[in-house]
Amino acid sequence: MTKSDLHVAESYRQRLLISRADIQRRVTELAQQISKDYAGRIPILIGVLNGAFIFLADLVRQLQIDCEVDFVKISSYGCGKESSGAVRMLKDLDADIRDRDVLVVEDIVDSGLSVQWLRRYFEEREPRSLRVVAFLRKVGAARVPYEVEYIGFDIPNAFVVGYGLDLGQRYRNLPDIYVLEEVSPP
């Protein structure tokens, strides 16, 4: 049995959405673009925990420039599938980002609330520049206007797990991205 054969949960059906090969190809492209755009600079990449840890790890290893890494943790979904809408900082930056080139690394943009909140939060710390790279963006899910400079994949408005993304803290270790569809009881 391979990791991709894991059954994610009794009440859900999993459907492969993005394979690990497609993920690696796209991450390489993003890293090339970012390396070009930040040539001659040393950006600080800020991973948004927990979901972005795998994407960030893959991305930085493909960069052809020097960079620094820091993390923040914010609350959003709790442990279920529905967003509470409220964002709180649970673990703040260690680094001082004033006058730095900041690249925020997000797992997925859904309503846009987190990314909009994070942009404001970092903007107040007066970085030299501020951009966001999101591995996934859900099409048609925006509840607020937001800006994201780099996108890995646009995906349908469905709940996904794998490659860092969880359901109740599980399935982050799946190497591919799956859509979870609820199976209705007979």
Residues with a known catalytic role? 110
> Is residue 27 involved in binding ligand 5GP (CB under 6 A)?
no
Closer residue to ligand 5GP in complex, CB, 43/51:
51
> Is residue 49 involved in binding ligand 5GP (CB under 6 A)?
no
- Contact residue for ligand 5GP among 4, 6, 9, 77 (CB under 6 A): 77
Task: Give 121's contacts (C-beta < 8 A, 6+ positions apart).
Answer: 89
- Contact residue for ligand 5GP among 23, 27, 109, 130 (CB under 6 A): 109
> Is residue 108 involved in binding ligand 5GP (CB under 6 A)?
yes
> What whole-number distance in Å separates Cα of residue 75 and Cα of residue 156?
23
How many alpha carbons lie under 13 Å from residue 164 in its C-beta half-sphere?
Answer: 20
Do residues 125 and 139 touch, judged by C-beta distance below 8 A? Answer: no
> Is residue 165 involved in binding ligand 5GP (CB under 6 A)?
yes
89-106 in b/e form (b: 16+ CB < 10 A) is eeeebeeebeebbbbbbb
Do residues 69 and 98 touch, judged by C-beta distance below 8 A? Answer: no
Closest CA to 63 of 100, 38, 98: 38
> Is residue 68 involved in binding ligand 5GP (CB under 6 A)?
no
- Contact residue for ligand 5GP among 107, 118, 127, 163 (CB under 6 A): 107
Least distance CB 167 / ligand 5GP (angstroms): 6
Least distance CB 35 / ligand 5GP (angstroms): 24
Least distance CB 113 / ligand 5GP (angstroms): 4
> What whole-number distance in Å separates Cα of residue 173 and Cα of residue 175?
6
Question: Any bridge partners for residue 13, and if so which?
Answer: 181
> Is residue 105 involved in binding ligand 5GP (CB under 6 A)?
no
The stretch near ligand 5GP (CB under 6 A) out of 11-19, 60-68, 89-97, 101-109 is 101-109
Do residues 36 and 43 touch, judged by C-beta distance below 8 A? Answer: no
Question: By the criterion CB under 6 A, which residues form the site for ligand 5GP?
Answer: 51, 76-77, 83, 106-115, 159-161, 165-167
